[in-house]
Amino acid sequence: MKANVLVYVSSAQAVPLCEGGKQPVGVFLGEVTETLEPLLGAGYSLFFVSPDGKEPHIDRQSYRLRYWGFSKKRLKNALAFYEKLKDLGIERPMKLKDLLAAEGGLKRYDALFVPGGHAPMTDILFKNWLEGEELNEETGILLSHFHKEQKPTALICHAPSVLAAAPDVNGEWIYKDYKMTCITMVSEHLVEDVPGLKTMRGHMPDYPEQILKRKGAKLKQVYIPLISNVVEDRELITGQDPYAARELGQKLKRKIEKYLESRAKIR
């Protein structure tokens, strides 16, 4: 059984900073490639969508070898795999508004994946975080479909924050009390404040961990460097940071397989 996987990518190139100005960001290379590789290897079809129909930009920080277990070979393989994704259309994503309006809409897709990096907070969680904190309602519609149909939904690193764009039903957030993970405040502190590790020019106005806790998520995080952490709860599967990408891809593949099997039994 083959699946159609919708990959929702950010095209944002910056996040706002409390100190004023903005920080150049993008999508993290490994969170895209190492998660999607097992899915493409299984013969699944990948379809790409972004909020505005524009291509994602890879965060230059994601080329740092510390995110690859200091393996140049892993980075080289990821760059080669990203070239395959270009051939499949990652640089020509659909516009989400058009996808939602299309006949058949989201019914053809069996799973959803949102890769991280800081970028998704700017245009997937919020409509435009550089201008204000209005949530992206179209993201909420997308998430509601996959939640209602209990289709596998995967997010990693900063991307789980976009779950906050999902609406409330009967006065409660649809993911309330779900177990999930995201980038830790410790990791945010390292890249914002610690000499030698600092890559940010300042501090963001908000963070995934704080956003999800306020919404009612049950966060499960680990604080050991370079350790993968993947959390599953019902249709949702989340990875903590770039070090979880490989495991997330493998577990997402199995989760999709189980979904396809259960759907086949119903039919």
Q: pTM here?
A: 0.97
**pLDDT band at residue 131 using 50, 70 and 90 as cut-offs:** very high
Look up tokens 């006065």; give the residue.
171
What was the pLDDT predicted at 267? 66
d(CA 65, CA 29): 12
- CATH topology for 4-266 is Rossmann fold (3.40.50)
Lowest mean pLDDT among 16-30, 237-251, 253-267: 253-267
- Domain borders along the chain are 4-266
Q: What is the mean pLDDT of residues 126-144?
A: 98
Strand-strand pairing, 230-233 and 218-219: unpaired
**1 compared with 151, residue with greater pLDDT:** 151
The predicted-structure confidence for 187-212, as pLDDT tens digits, reads as follows 999 999 999 999 999 999 999 999 99
User: What integer pLDDT is reported at residue 1 of this predicted model?
Assistant: 76
When pLDDT is averaged across residues 72-87 and rounded to a whole number, the result is 98
Mean pLDDT of the 176-182 span: 97
Find the helix or strand (DSSP H, E) in which 168 lies: strand 168-169
Average pLDDT, the chain: 96
Is the predicted pLDDT of residue 100 greater than 70, yes or no?
A: yes
The structure tokens listed for 43 are: 């013969």
pLDDT of residue 104: 83
Contact of 221 with 213, CB cutoff 8 Å: no
Which pLDDT score, from 0 to 100, does residue 245 have? 98
Sign of CA dihedral 102, 253, 227, 166: positive
pLDDT band at 266 (very low <50, low <70, confident <90, very high): confident
Angle between helix 245-266 and 29-41 (nearest 10)? 40
